[in-house]
Chains A and B, each alone.
Chain A
Amino acid sequence: NAGVTQTPKFQVLKTGQSMTLQCAQDMNHEYMSWYRQDPGMGLRLIHYSVGAGITDQGEVPNGYNVSRSTTEDFPLRLLSAAPSQTSVYFCASRATGESYEQYFGPGTRLTVT
């Protein structure tokens, strides 16, 4: 199993550009989520999905869109990049149920200039 994969690993955007961060998992997990991690702020939940066709907002959803058309894929779209979105983005997945381990992708380091 590849686990959770994310592309790209690094990205530099100019303010106002849009892009999609890709995330895929091959563990047949229903639950997938996106976090951003900033120094001193910890991991903050952007959006999450409990299954194909179902998405919901997390703690910091503004400026981001998600969709979940398949169990495997959960892309994160930045609509109009801003310097405040400079961060490390982690995608994660887990089986449904309260005790299951959450697996993270390797992260995407995004810089918006």
Chain B
Amino acid sequence: RKEVEQDPGPFNVPEGATVAFNCTYSNSASQSFFWYRQDCRKEPKLLMSVYSSGNEDGRFTAQLNRASQYISLLIRDSKLSDSATYLCVVNIIVRSGGSNYKLTFGKGTLLTVNP
């Protein structure tokens, strides 16, 4: 099983739609979780961290289910500017007793929001 798996996509939605991305991770020792956004031919940038209790940032809601090892991202009222690839990212400890963490990225899901 891959360490981080995402919906393969692509997703094509009209403006104003609600779209949800799902992600699963295999390492139960995973410590922290993020969603990154990557625009075409640009570097990835942090969209939001994902907290155990779930968290919201404007139109974006992230949720984590540690028991199921599942992360989700919901985008409400999609805008044209939301068109990008969304990367699920998981941080795991690679060496105990220290601050040696490794970020593992999913392959990403391409979202296109159409007018």
Binding site for B on A (CB under 8 A): 31, 33, 35, 40-43, 45, 48, 50, 58, 90, 96-99, 101-102, 104-107
Contacts and interface: CB of A to CB of B under 8 A. Distances in A.
A104 B99 contact: no
Nearest to A50: B100
B32 to A, nearest CB: 5
B49 interface: yes
Given A40-B107, A42-B105, A102-B46, 5 more contacts: A45-B102, A45-B104, A48-B102, A99-B32, A101-B46
Interface of B: 31-32, 34, 42-46, 49, 87, 91, 93, 98-108
A107 B104 CA distance: 18
B43 A50 contact: no
A43 B93 CA distance: 18
